[in-house]
Structure 1
């Protein structure tokens, strides 16, 4: 596809955000978490205007570039002309989270088989792996209300999320939010791994659960593991991997 560059139309800060968000879309595709074209990753552009970047609806995640990302307001109206459509219905969940959580620069939502499978289990996430302890330390649940395109669902979703960074959408999928794109991606990596491990463990024998006190101390463990950097600790390595495979996301 020949997509005109928008780098000259935006600030350096927005351009870097576009590059990082495009990288996030490519990484989600690379890890097999995409659902054709039917999920979204959004990022809030710094500033008081409440402007966001979201994927052009209809492109596969491994096609997305910095310039193809669509800039919208909080009602999903385009702010820079784009040949690509946006999906206002798909932005309902994301706009709800961004509106309630000023600390959430990035919101990632997936429909993976493992994530949907665990979301359909009454027990939810079980404390049976190291990965699960990080999720359980900041996990919330939201009951299924049908395809999420109704604004009336937003207040209930916001109330259920609260201050959590991991949200299990019952019978639907997974959601993470973070203060940066890197933080949201690392959270989703841990969330997805937690669900895959749980399903694999449930196929075997009796499960051994982690002691609740370990979950309570997991924030300090994460700080130590990432040298206090959170997702930023792993992000440069992920970018290097992407650049070796295909750096076209940067355009």
Structure 2
């Protein structure tokens, strides 16, 4: 389901199920969590997650849904597997970026929202579709959606299930970077991140997550801020006098 490769300090995680428009089955969510862990163990400084031009992902694999109405345990297993995969991305030890060149629907939107950055090409499209099927969306993912686009736009996406294009997604805050050439933009992002300080980026990612959660001040962030001024890395990176 997910293919993990390394290019130097950059890990690439590709959804590789084109016959199903990269729909993610229960086993795929479990695979996602394992692959993110492997990327960290491999020393990646950046994790790029992509599909293909035909589809980033259709979301959760709805061919598995008919088994759920009569099996409460299976519903719980599905929810937990999806949560574990998405939160593995959100809590990855390295920065993460989603590269979206085609349609991104349903649970796949939750997956890209768990990344630090979202880069979309001109053929990207987004829809959050549980209302079409008579189901809901996990609260953790609704929380992220409201943080990104606000209550009104979240209601628009969730209640109408309508598809929006990349430009509209960028306008409302669901996408961070629009790029005619997603691969070239990914290379530029990767080069900039790998050139930076991993220690600094870890502190900054934590600060961003706290801010998104409404935390204005944090003693641990204060400690990190001060500690990094005493680091050997700062001394090595400062211009020589």
TM-score under structure 2 length normalisation: 0.26
Which of these two proteins has the greater Rg computed from alpha carbons?
2
TM-score under structure 1 length normalisation: 0.26
By relative contact order (CA 8 Å, sep 6+), the higher-ranking structure is 1
